[in-house]
């Protein structure tokens, strides 16, 4: 049975508006360490990616149980296209498998699925499947899952800037009215609250071009554990760390 999370908010929602201050409304995760996990076990890299996909299932389950409303997973960065063709093919095939075999289950659990990034680079057939998954789950009222595919934060800002510039060029927009809210409305995540919490696994302390604009006031947690080992206990520990933070949004402490 799906866990009731309440209706999905419509339109732009400010970050940090969870009914329970200890639970972030939006958690974004940089899933890192699949290759190292496989290498440490003498397995091919695809085995690590498959184990990472299972970790996604555990993460989703934990997020729903904890009351998180939005979960964004950095599944495939724009830089990942530079990897070897065999690994890119493995990742694409894994994505296709899970879209075909997991979407119906997520739909039953009232999960809404969105894809952000240059998804057209995956080819028309897979793009059509991604579009059908979005359409099928569009009216679900549980957790919203955003999968960042062929996504890059800098490119996100560039495409938003181009869209605004074109509107100015057409005479539809006064440049003096351009502000942060307008920029947010033109990003690929338009209508989604900014992440309250960004998590990265594998011991790396960088954000790798992920949600650069959106993460301006997010809390960051960096974990030494590799992504395939991520489970519900890990998720609870991350939320415990977040719950101890005092979020000031640039203001001085009282």
pLDDT of residue 251: 66
Check whether 37 is labelled as a binding-site residue: yes
> How many other C-beta atoms lie within 10 A of the C-beta of residue 175?
9
Q: For residues 71 and 55, is the Cβ–Cβ distance under 8 A? A: no
Check whether 81 is labelled as a binding-site residue: yes
Taking 50 as the pLDDT cut, the residues of the chain under it are 1-20
CA atoms within 13 A on the CB side of 22: 10
pLDDT of residue 21: 59
- Domains of the chain by range and CATH? 23-151 (3.40.1180.10), 153-195 (no CATH)
- Cα distances (Å, whole numbers) of residue 13 to 26, 69, 117, 179: 10, 12, 21, 17
Check whether 79 is labelled as a binding-site residue: yes
| Element of type H or E holding 251 | none
Q: Which residues pair with 116 in a beta bridge?
A: 148
pTM: 0.88
pLDDT of residue 19: 39
| Catalytic sites, residue numbers | 32, 80
Check whether 247 is labelled as a binding-site residue: no
């Amino acid at each position: 049975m799906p866990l009731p999370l309440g209706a999905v908010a419509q339109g732009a929602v400010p970050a940090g508006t969870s009914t329970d201050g200890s639970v972030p409304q939006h958690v974004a995760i940089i899933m890192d360490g699949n290759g190292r996990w496989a290498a440490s076990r003498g397995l091919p890299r695809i085995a690590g990616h498959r184990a990472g996909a299972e970790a996604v299932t555990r993460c989703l389950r934990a997020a729903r149980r904890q009351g998180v409303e939005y979960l964004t997973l950095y599944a495939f960065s724009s830089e990942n296209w530079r990897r070897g063709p065999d690994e890119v093919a493995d990742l694409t095939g894994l994505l296709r498998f899970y879209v075909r075999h997991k979407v119906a289950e997520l739909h039953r659990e009232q999960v809404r699925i969105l894809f952000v990034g240059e998804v057209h680079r995956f080819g028309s057939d897979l793009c059509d499947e991604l579009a059908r998954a979005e359409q099928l789950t569009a009216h679900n009222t549980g957790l919203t899952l955003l999968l960042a595919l062929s996504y890059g934060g800098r490119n996100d800002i560039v495409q938003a800037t181009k869209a605004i510039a074109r509107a100015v060029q057409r005479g539809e927009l006064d440049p003096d009215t351009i502000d942060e809210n307008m920029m947010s409305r033109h990003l690929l995540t338009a209508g989604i609250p900014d992440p309250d919490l960004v998590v990265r696994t594998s011991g790396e302390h960088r954000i790798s071009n992920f949600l650069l604009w959106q993460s301006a006031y997010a809390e960051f947690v960096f974990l030494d554990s590799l992504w395939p080992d991520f489970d519900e206990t890990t998720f609870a520990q991350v939320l415990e760390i977040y719950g101890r933070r005092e979020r000031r949004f640039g203001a001085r402490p009282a």
